[in-house]
Structure 1
Amino acid sequence: MPVLAAVEGGGTTYVVAIAKDKPENIIERASFPTTTPEETLSKCKAWLRQRSFDALGIATFGPVDPRTSSKTYGHITKTPKKLWRDADVVGALDIFGVPVKFDTDVNAPALSEYRAMIDKGEDPSCVAYATVGTGVGVGLVVNGAPVHGLLHPEAGHACVPRYPGDDFAGHNPSLNCPGWAEVEAMCASGALAKRAGLNDTAGLKDLPDDHPVWDVAAHYLAALCANLILVVSPEKIVLSGGVMLRASLFPRIRAKTVQYLNGYIPVPAVASAAAAETLIVPSPHGNDAGIIGALTLAQDALGGGSSSPCRLSLMGGAFAAGALLAALLR
């Protein structure tokens, strides 16, 4: 049985793990606070050095450079986390003489969610995975492989319509573009805490389900889901991350997504909020989705998996879709 190793780099915590035979069969793990690249990656290396494994998967927050032909392949690039800008994550960890595969911390779990559908006998062509926590990130798998294209999806910074009457300026917008209502700036955990008048995000868990902030969050996340459906047509949208531990968000997001599509997509999965229960779903892996995704990359490293080119064609009469695409890929 192959022994898989993985490193999942999060904004607050780095996780390392070992699995036997398949990514879900985790037998060992550890976590370290995300401090400086030197300190954090050194702890990951020290832990891995004490173990034997056949392949290594690395998934980290971004933006990153996943292009193997690039001089900055394996680097974190223009991240808001200033200490981690230009950090060479793969260079620091690719020291064990085993195959290595690297991607974002959302593309990797998107791949594991895709594989889970295949294992169930389904035949998806596109799966989206979104994490909603400190930030909002979206990973995409199309035709069996994570999408890279120009770089990789950054749909957490897509522009979405404002909630009716919402004059919130946005919390730490990365694009800093006037008039650009980013999903992340509108409804990541920091934004929701600020909207609710909380000192920090820890207080979000104590807000009741009927607090107005959750309807605002559902609006922005439904707008994201609607854009994803219109642009890449996923058969599954998996929503994960700390904010999505609020289970009451799922029925609201499904209902609003169906409402915003307004009957334009004539398929059963978005015919009603009840039907959308099979389309917009939580991860079956819960909080393990990220590290299982990284272990899936290790599994692919043994099999020589490759990324999918992103090729989209906009035909005449699809001006509105072009505007949505520009918002998604901005």
Structure 2
Amino acid sequence: MVLGSIEAGGTKFVCAIGNTDLEIIERVSFPTTTPDGTMKRVVDFFTQYKNELEGIGVGSFGPIDIHHESDTYGYITSTPKSAWQNFDFVGTLKKAFNGIPVAWTTDVNAACYGEFVAGRGTGLNSVVYYTIGTGVGAGALQDGIFVEGFSHPEMGHMLVRHHPEDNFEGNCPFHHDCLEGMAAGPAIEKRVGRKGQELSEDDPVWAIEASYIAQCAYNTTLILSPDVIIFGGGVMKQEHLMHKVRKLFSEMINGYVETPSLDQYLVTPKLEDNAGTVGCLALARDVVLHL
């Protein structure tokens, strides 16, 4: 079975071909521009597999419409990327590939699902995945089903307390000092004038960053009590950061609940940068098998 994966990010698209074992056979990436230009490159990539392709899994930047009964199911909706507002993503794929089955979810849900089927969440019932990079997003799974209601979660915009040594006002255009506004990559850069990867491990900003991520883990623990919380994204590639987060989380939780061992509870992705692609392939496999 030949399966397609599309990680539709706000900065770049990553398209891949894989198989039912979730092995990545071919992958390409290109910048996210306008819908016409970007989707032409998507269609061109998959057209070479058109006679074999059985399903496509899509993890998209959002917000998106996830409700099958909605007239705008499969659309990117009120995104800040104005050219993509109210874009019929799923409909465009189905038109290009003769009604091919398409699994549709958020980019962070896809990464969460990848870790659930083949990473840190394998064999667990409840998995939460955060991406901390250009923005902050999150996905959650309970018994293999995405935690959703009227829409998908936007846990990346939870409110956090200011670190006592942090006078940064926040970088979120909607909420200013929410988690994304205080902890995403651009917030680090605006706060200190340099990108995170340019800073030393002992730079004081990492204590501030760890505080916000630990608060995120604290809130998630008390609301969802998941089996594991996975933190991915570019910011989390600072290997020292997770150690700081675990220490602060332990202080914040203060013995109130007994979590799993923190080196197994607060973790980075086993699949690293492949989590989203593997998740989209798994979702594509699921949608084909359940037809």
> In which range does the TM-score fall when normalised by the shorter chain?
over 0.9
RMSD: 1.7
Instruction: Please report how far the alpha carbon of residue 61 of structure 1 lies from its aligned counterpart in structure 2 after TM superposition.
Output: 0.9
Give distance in 2, aligned partners of 1:37 and 1:204.
Answer: 31
**Equivalent in the alignment of 2:221:** 229
**Equivalent in the alignment of 2:9:** 10
Q: Does 1:215 align with 2:207?
A: yes
Instruction: Please report how far the alpha carbon of residue 174 of structure 1 lies from its aligned counterpart in structure 2 after TM superposition.
Output: 2.5
- Pick closer, same or farther for the CA change 1:211–1:119 going to 2, 3 Å: closer
**CA distances 1:197-249 after superposition (whole Å, capped 9, x unpaired):** 23xxxx32121011111111111111111111100111011111111111111
Give distance in 2, aligned partners of 1:254 and 1:214.
Answer: 13
**Do the aligned partners of 1:57 and 1:102 also contact (CA within 8 Å) in 2?**
yes
**Equivalent in the alignment of 2:62:** 62
Give the gaps of 5 or more residues in structure 2. none
Q: Does 1:100 align with 2:98?
A: no
- Pick closer, same or farther for the CA change 1:40–1:214 going to 2, 3 Å: same
**What stretches of structure 1 move > 3 A for 4+ residues in a row?**
117-120
Aligned length: 287
1:186 is aligned, of 132, 157, 182, to 182
**CA distances 1:282-315 after superposition (whole Å, capped 9, x unpaired):** 111111111111112101112339xxxxxxxxxx
**Do the aligned partners of 1:131 and 1:241 also contact (CA within 8 Å) in 2?**
yes
**Equivalent in the alignment of 1:115:** 117
Give distance in 2, aligned partners of 1:166 and 1:78.
Answer: 31
Matched residue type, 1:301: V
Instruction: Please report how far the alpha carbon of residue 26 of structure 1 lies from its aligned counterpart in structure 2 after TM superposition.
Output: 0.5
Give distance in 1, aligned partners of 2:73 and 2:139.
Answer: 18
Q: How does 1:99-178 map to 2 (within 5 A)?
A: 99-116=101-118, 122=123, 124-175=124-175
Q: Does 1:260 align with 2:243?
A: no
Give distance in 2, aligned partners of 1:151 and 1:93.
Answer: 22
**Equivalent in the alignment of 1:46:** 44
Length-normalised TM-score, structure 1: 0.83
**Do the aligned partners of 1:108 and 1:146 also contact (CA within 8 Å) in 2?**
no
Q: Equivalent residue of 2:25, what SS?
A: strand
Instruction: Please report how far the alpha carbon of residue 266 of structure 1 lies from its aligned counterpart in structure 2 after TM superposition.
Output: 2.5
Q: How does 1:15-94 map to 2 (within 5 A)?
A: 15-23=14-22, 25-51=23-49, 52-94=52-94
Matched residue type, 2:166: D
Q: Does 1:280 align with 2:266?
A: yes
1:294 is aligned, of 258, 262, 280, to 280
Instruction: Please report how far the alpha carbon of residue 117 of structure 1 lies from its aligned counterpart in structure 2 after TM superposition.
Output: 6.0
**CA distances 1:67-124 after superposition (whole Å, capped 9, x unpaired):** 111111111112222222212211111232322110000111111212236995x3x2
Q: Equivalent residue of 2:87, what SS?
A: coil
Give distance in 1, aligned partners of 2:106 and 2:181.
Answer: 20
Q: Equivalent residue of 1:248, what SS?
A: helix
**Do the aligned partners of 2:172 and 2:178 also contact (CA within 8 Å) in 1?**
no
Give distance in 2, aligned partners of 1:148 and 1:128.
Answer: 13
